Amino acid sequence: MRIRGPSRVTGALHVPGDKSISHRVAMLASIAYGSTTISGFASSADCHATLDCVRRLGIDAENANGKIMIHGHGLRGYQAQVQPVKLFVGNSGSTIRMLGGILAGQHLVSEVDGDASIRRRPMARIVEPLTLMGATINGREGNFAPLTIRGSRLRAIDYHSKVASAQVKSCVLFAGLFAEGITTVTEPAQSRNHSELMLQEFGARLELDDEADVHRYRIEGGTELTAVDYVVPGDVSSAAFFMAAATVLPDSNLRIDGVNLNPTRTAFIEVLKDLGATIQRENVTTKHFEPIGDLHISSRQLKSEKGGLILSGNIIPNLIDEIPILAIVGTQVEGRLEVRDARELRIKESDRIKTVAAGIRAMGGEIEEFEDGFAVTGPQQLSGGRIETAGDHRIAMAFSIAGLLAAGETEIIGADCAEVSFPEFYELLSTVTGGSVIADS
Ligand code: S3P
């Protein structure tokens, strides 16, 4: 993909269905009793990998008039003629980690594999709690994919997760559905809470203990789930690229409709506002316990207070997927922006601290790299450059926005990986920029 800058964005758009919510609704529908109809299911390749996995587990998941219908047979309704049943998650960490919790409670053996990036990502974080619950899991060189998961009768545990990871929390809560007794999960800082909200929507017995310093969840095993009609809202992490563009590209004005505004996902909006952005929320409603609304954004010169803005601690899990695009925004802020406590970035789809720093430098920008984050001081004039995405969708999209800021042309090598979360990205970007995106075949 070639991006021609400088440009601006105008108009209105819808972003595709939320990736985190789509994974969860597909998984919970697959173990509920009855037929769940899902509208607005994510177009992302990751979420389609989850659908493929549940189909291989004997669950009917059909595409009917743009909606997905999943016919579940209850908690232990998965079936496989040949075992181990081989599942392939592609690039999707959410699929392997969260579905792992369900597979641990089934009476079958599965082997879960993914692409080269998945094979590098740590799985000990789910292998440990699931083993404590009674599942037998064998990985390559210990705890790497492919994972062979031998499901079993599970016992409830009281688990204190070392990482604020929604995937780990969800994995243990999903496994808790199959355990005898009450499973508790405590996380060191609050991560996105879609699983907790959705488990309640499907009728699970779940209690939340969400206070300032305690994020603990209790789930009772053995309760069957009931199918629901679910409407998936737009993905705020996909919207973030367009919010950033509308804020930092002069003379921009954009509306993004129907976006999920769950407060465990919106720190990026708050950070932009702290830096002076104008982002208005309109028509906010609640569906399935999730807030949804429209966003109206217009451009502003951003500024950090004297001494700079330092983002660290509890805000990081709430911002984690938006950090690559935040780094691009940082190059346009008058003053310094520093991100710390974000070591998790090193074990995402790519080492995002390294890929972000390399990309900014390739565009003639400056960035200071730390073991757990980075700092940028702006405003900087970026030049066009050649960006290696390392197969990471959020790097491809973040640097496409950087390309719109640059004087000259930016080449995104391996741009196709955007389909992992947002297949319509370049087409939408081309529409709102009036043609600044050129596809090289
Ligand atoms: C996700 C949780 C986060 C996030 C990922 C999606 C989820 O990962 O980065 O893109 O849907 O639960 P971690 O749980 O590894 O922090």
Residues 366 and 327 in one domain: yes
Residues 146 and 251 in one domain: no
User: Nearest CA to 244 among 180, 172, 300?
Assistant: 300
Query: What pLDDT digit, counting tens, does each position of 406-432 carry?
Result: 999 999 999 999 999 999 999 999 999
Residues 199 and 219 in one domain: yes
| pLDDT, mean of residues 287-310 | 96
Task: Calculate how far, in angstroms, residue 23's C-alpha sits from the geometric centre of ligand 1.
Answer: 11
Residue where one domain finishes, among candidates 203, 231, 259:
231
Cβ of 94 below 6 Å from ligand 1? yes
Residue where one domain finishes, among candidates 231, 266, 283:
231
Residues 139 and 203 in one domain: yes
Q: How confident is the model at residue 233 (pLDDT cuts 50, 70, 90)?
A: very high
Residues 369 and 277 in one domain: yes
pTM: 0.98
Q: How many domains does the chain have?
A: 2
| Contact by Cβ (8 Å): 419, 17 | no
Query: What pLDDT digit, counting tens, does each position of 101-121 carry?
Result: 999 999 999 999 999 999 999
Residues 179 and 280 in one domain: no
Residues 250 and 282 in one domain: yes
| Contact by Cβ (8 Å): 244, 401 | yes
Which of 52, 321, 372, 416 is catalytic? The answer is 321
| pLDDT, mean of residues 278-287 | 98
Burial class of 218 by CB neighbour count within 10 A (0 to 12, 13 to 18, 19+): middle
Residues 289 and 417 in one domain: yes
| pLDDT, mean of residues 344-368 | 98
Residues 376 and 246 in one domain: yes
Residues 6 and 36 in one domain: no
Which CATH number characterizes residue 288's domain?
Answer: 3.65.10.10
Quote the pLDDT of residue 200.
Answer: 97
* Nearest atom of ligand 1 to the alpha carbon of 165: 14
Token pair recorded at residue 72: 């579940």
Query: Is residue 321 among the annotated active site residues?
Result: yes
Residues 428 and 377 in one domain: yes
Residue where one domain finishes, among candidates 190, 216, 231:
231
User: Nearest CA to 321 among 162, 191, 173, 171?
Assistant: 191
In terms of residue numbers, what domain contains 25? Answer: 19-231
Position 212 pLDDT exceeds 70: no
Cβ of 30 below 6 Å from ligand 1? no
Residues 224 and 261 in one domain: no
